[in-house]
């Protein structure tokens, strides 16, 4: 325990970037540990359904993770932690493109978590992910490795949503504030506000940082994390990211193939900076099915695809996640990069049961993206 004004002891390790390498001593860590040998699988799994990841920022974050994993990070279930353990969620806030341009200094995890600890007067005992898409799967691991803390096996969405408050933690009554935001220029801001005003407060701060920051948020007891978490998702990504594994292994609640076809039209644009604000400018993508009934499938997007219509009938919608997968390379096609002529598959990932409650649909359904029912 610490007093609110007492800074916890320094725990940051310098993180000079270096290429991904095999496990240093040639011996894989014991089960329940994430070391350099497991990092490649986690990274690969984190991209299987991730939208909006920029190549430069993803590889930078991957190198950062490799640099701090000199000792493996312990992967734990929330239920295995003492019930009163303080758990802190970690997420990138802002633009992945900005992360690749405004390089991290390496001390952002330490500054953010320690600021939250000073505010609460309690030392954190575990780190957890907000979501596990691309960079956001690696930043909690980086934070856990830097601070010498365990990483909880799970996350707060089971998929990806654009806003900080769109989590199963929120659905379980946990507030994202107080929230500490560390920027790449040594900036540090502590935000305390009503839960429904966190995103609105964050946006101008992130812009003033240069477009991105690392947030330590949703401080909660392990007992509360255990009841609100989507469990086991870190392990699932590592399993799905291994050579020869099925993509569906990364989806906690399965995958449904909606169609395969070719993009024939793209209307509108979600615009630049779509991950800084929401709703974005709507866009539509029309896919001509190449098999079966030969339907025209229209994908409506606000930051991400939120509604799929086949010959005018709704066949999938948020809170389920709808992804376009390139037939050429198997990567997710971002809405902003969709072009006529692309051959794609459209997959639907059912959301966690919490998202299909009245409260879940209000937070992560069509209306939350500005689409009237």
Q: Which part of the chain has CATH 2.40.390?
A: 256-369
Q: pTM for this structure? A: 0.87
- What is the per-residue pLDDT for 268? 80
CATH code, 33-244: 3.40.1610.10
Structure confidence by residue, pLDDT tens digits, 132-190: 999 999 999 999 999 999 999 999 999 888 899 999 999 999 999 999 999 999 999 99
> Who wins on pLDDT, 21 or 357?
357
DSSP string, 61-74: HHHHHHHHTTSPEE
Structure confidence by residue, pLDDT tens digits, 67-112: 999 999 999 999 999 999 999 999 999 988 899 899 999 999 999 9
Task: Give the tokens for residue 276.
Answer: 């800084």
Contact 218, 195 (CB under 8 A): no
Q: Which part of the chain has CATH 3.40.1610.10?
A: 33-244
- What is the per-residue pLDDT for 223? 98
Contacts 24+ apart (CB under 8 A), 267-272: 269/336, 270/301, 270/302, 270/303, 270/335, 270/336, 271/336
CATH topology of domain 256-369: CV3147-like (2.40.390)
């Amino acid at each position: 325990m610490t007093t609110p004004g007492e800074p916890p002891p320094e725990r940051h390790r310098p993180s000079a970037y270096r290429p991904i390498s095999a496990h240093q001593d040639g011996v894989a860590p014991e089960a329940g540990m994430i070391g350099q040998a497991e990092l490649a699988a986690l990274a690969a799994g984190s991209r299987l359904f991730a939208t909006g990841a920029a190549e430069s920022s993803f590889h930078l974050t991957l190198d950062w993770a490799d640099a701090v994993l000199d000792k493996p990070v312990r992967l734990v279930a929330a239920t295995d932690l003492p019930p009163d353990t303080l758990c802190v969620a970690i997420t990138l806030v802002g633009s992945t493109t900005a992360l690749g341009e405004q390089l991290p200094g390496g001390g952002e995890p330490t500054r953010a978590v320690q600021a939250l600890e000073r505010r609460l007067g309690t030392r954190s005992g575990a780190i957890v992910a907000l979501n596990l898409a691309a960079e956001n799967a690696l930043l909690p691991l980086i934070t856990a490795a830097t601070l010498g803390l365990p990483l909880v096996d799970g996350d707060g969405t089971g998929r990806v949503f654009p806003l900080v408050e769109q989590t199963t933690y929120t659905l379980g009554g946990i507030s994202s504030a107080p929230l500490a935001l560390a920027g790449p220029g040594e900036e540090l801001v502590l935000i305390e506000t009503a839960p429904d005003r966190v995103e609105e407060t964050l946006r101008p701060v992130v812009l003033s940082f240069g477009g991105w920051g690392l947030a330590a948020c949703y401080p909660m007891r392990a007992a509360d994390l255990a009841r609100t978490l989507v469990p086991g998702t870190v392990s699932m990504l590592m399993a799905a990211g291994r050579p020869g594994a099925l993509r569906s292994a990364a989806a906690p609640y399965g995958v449904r193939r909606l169609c395969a076809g070719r993009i024939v039209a793209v209307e509108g644009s979600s615009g630049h900076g779509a991950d800084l604000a929401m709703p974005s400018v709507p866009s539509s993508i029309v896919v001509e099915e190449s098999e079966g009934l030969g339907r025209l499938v229209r994908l409506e997007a606000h930051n991400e695809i939120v509604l799929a219509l086949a010959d005018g009938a709704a066949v999938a919608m948020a809170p389920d996640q709808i992804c376009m997968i390139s037939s050429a390379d198997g990567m997710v096609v971002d809405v902003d990069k969709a072009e006529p002529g692309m051959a794609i598959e459209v997959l639907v990932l059912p959301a966690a049961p919490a998202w299909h409650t009245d409260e879940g649909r209000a937070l992560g359904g069509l209306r939350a993206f500005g689409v009237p029912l």
